[in-house]
Structure 1
């Protein structure tokens, strides 16, 4: 039988596609937003080959032009029925990830797309849904009265805070839970903050960590950060999801995909200082003033638009992330032989080197060492 993957051209999705190709024997069918089969195949091949991985991309990887927010996933009825009979596992990684967007902008893909995927799971042969959510659904858990969360904690619209993207992820989880109560076999994965690749420091330009570090470099300062972030590198995230999904007895379980210990937010800035940047620690208000002074720079402007920074970094005492536990998930990942990458100084050196190489023109601070 075949595996179906949504979001395969994305930061996590492309690496998850590679891991599924490595760990399974059947076709990996990727739904891709595209106007034709040729364009879908081109986008998917480009996403995977850009990783530089030695994997059997063809012929087992197939790309199908689709639209998550449309009826029948944008497929004609015949293609939809054929696909529904061929597939027995669905990895729903597709989402419109925009931390500053309004709920109405991201809901059609994040909620509507999940509902379309659930309809697909109910058609044809029985399917196991592997739904990728986010630990961001608990970002405001302290304000909701929860100082700590683990795999058994159920997210609500109160635990996700006033953010459209995170609200859609809570509602998508609720839709999956309702389908599971009606008989769907489902497993839920909640990655934390997804960091750059551990091997080469690669990350997209709109990556949260990239934006925050670049904004600190541009302004020459960073805010006092009180939070500790559930985080892991993108390669570890994809490896863990793939390995856990193929382990026995995962149906009905929830996994928190993160490194064993949360990452102190201030460590991001301390590593940049170790790398040679002259950065001074300032108050939240002083950092905002510095960002406003540099708002002509795209990095400063991007962070100004992200109110979510206050929560993720824990810039103010009342808006710190809760304590995240992933003991059950860590034990399961270890049993599945998933190695946790080293995210020490050498890792951040690679990350910052890559940031400098890819975005030299928009980084305008003095760098005192290589």
Structure 2
């Protein structure tokens, strides 16, 4: 019997690398990853390097290296080209069962709209066409729960409303989902993780560190700017946020675990929220990040108030995140729990000491000494 093969785009990214590690540990399938040349590394060398780093970061020892070497193949690819620049006929040795499209452009500014269209919309069409040409039974699109845009309240696992988007990134992801929903001939699943953070146990992460980490980085940069100006006391930064709203963080390994569980359960097509039902309040996360970067507890205001020069700088740096810092969002998970009753994410709990461990790892990762000791 020929081995089965699963294809994963974005295998060198945060979610993609964790997904590949999960597939390696829970299936016997071979994994093919369309991968670009980057940073002077050929695709195979780049993929192997990232996956080995992810395996270590997520608690696996060197024994997984043999699985990476023997079961993971990088093929040169470019999302903006038809069929992602891949020749399907040259990969007909094993049955291609599922295709996972994790690759995406995460920029949001208007000036990047042409690139966002090419990668997140046209690239999705190319990925779908490649999956179809490979004979895949299932196509999985990794999107984001925040295609909800400006909508508030209970958000169901249903098509997004393009009229509610906050920025170009969201617009491109909504359009990409629409491309997938219109596809025929394969089972299609749209997976919507919320704000992805590191591993639930090790707290580490490998791949693109955006979202919550970018906010922490900006606060660390603000503290460093103040220190260079000779300000020694902890300063309170004005943040354009509602501290009472929930903010939905999800560990990358549990996102991967529930995605693979949908696969192994042979779940039907549909939309699935890879979120969790017990998020922290935004103010708890920002108070902690401020303390750990050496700042005083922030001031919160949604309306225009008297702002200092550093407040105005931080406000500009937070432009992308402002829409995620207001308006309560509760992500329904009926579809996920129907397909996977024992899903990992709905059982996940995150408290402030746990989050401090994630922040501690990240601040050390970027070379900023945390202002608080690492929690036990």
TM-score of the aligned structures, taking structure 1 as reference length: 0.82
- Which deviations, in whole Å up to 9, do the C-alpha atoms of 1:35-74 show, x marking residues without a partner? 8997111111111111203322120111111111102311
Distance 1:89 1:367, change over 3 A: closer
SS at match of 1:130: strand
Q: Which moved more, 1:113-122 or 1:81-90?
A: 81-90
What's the counterpart of residue 82 of structure 2? 71
- Which deviations, in whole Å up to 9, do the C-alpha atoms of 1:151-203 show, x marking residues without a partner? 1x221211323x11111111111111111xx3321111111111233233334
Residue 284 of structure 2 is aligned to residue 267 of structure 1:
yes
CA distance in 2, matches of 1:312, 1:118: 30
Q: Which of 184, 187, 191 is the aligned partner of 1:185?
A: 187
Distance 1:176 1:111, change over 3 A: same
The answer on whether the counterparts of 2:97 and 2:135 sit within 8 Å (CA) in structure 1 is yes
Residue 124 of structure 2 is aligned to residue 114 of structure 1:
yes
Q: How does 1:11-160 map to 2 (within 5 A)?
A: 11-34=14-37, 39-51=42-54, 52=56, 53-54=60-61, 55=64, 56-75=67-86, 79-83=87-91, 86=94, 87-100=96-109, 102-142=112-152, 147-151=153-157, 153-160=158-165
CA distance in 1, matches of 2:298, 2:318: 21
Q: Which moved more, 1:40-49 or 1:254-263?
A: 254-263
What's the counterpart of residue 229 of structure 1? 247
CA distance in 2, matches of 1:131, 1:205: 18
The answer on whether the counterparts of 2:275 and 2:346 sit within 8 Å (CA) in structure 1 is no
Residue 10 of structure 2 is aligned to residue 3 of structure 1:
no
The answer on whether the counterparts of 1:12 and 1:234 sit within 8 Å (CA) in structure 2 is yes
The answer on whether the counterparts of 1:148 and 1:324 sit within 8 Å (CA) in structure 2 is yes
The answer on whether the counterparts of 2:197 and 2:250 sit within 8 Å (CA) in structure 1 is yes
CA distance in 2, matches of 1:290, 1:328: 47
What's the counterpart of residue 242 of structure 1? 260
Q: What is the deviation of 1:323?
A: 2.9
Residue 358 of structure 2 is aligned to residue 351 of structure 1:
yes
Question: Segments of 4+ in structure 1 off by > 6 A?
Answer: 35-38
CA distance in 1, matches of 2:177, 2:99: 15
Distance 1:35 1:48, change over 3 A: closer
What's the counterpart of residue 317 of structure 1? none
Q: Which moved more, 1:239-248 or 1:222-231?
A: 222-231
Distance 1:49 1:107, change over 3 A: same
The answer on whether the counterparts of 2:278 and 2:349 sit within 8 Å (CA) in structure 1 is no
TM-score of the aligned structures, taking structure 2 as reference length: 0.81
SS at match of 2:190: strand
Q: What is the deviation of 1:84?
A: 5.8
5+ residue gaps, structure 2, are 224-235
Residue 172 of structure 2 is aligned to residue 168 of structure 1:
yes
CA distance in 2, matches of 1:95, 1:122: 20
Distance 1:340 1:34, change over 3 A: farther
SS at match of 1:158: helix
The answer on whether the counterparts of 2:336 and 2:343 sit within 8 Å (CA) in structure 1 is no
The answer on whether the counterparts of 2:277 and 2:346 sit within 8 Å (CA) in structure 1 is no
Q: What is the deviation of 1:359?
A: 2.7
Distance 1:289 1:198, change over 3 A: farther
CA distance in 2, matches of 1:28, 1:281: 48
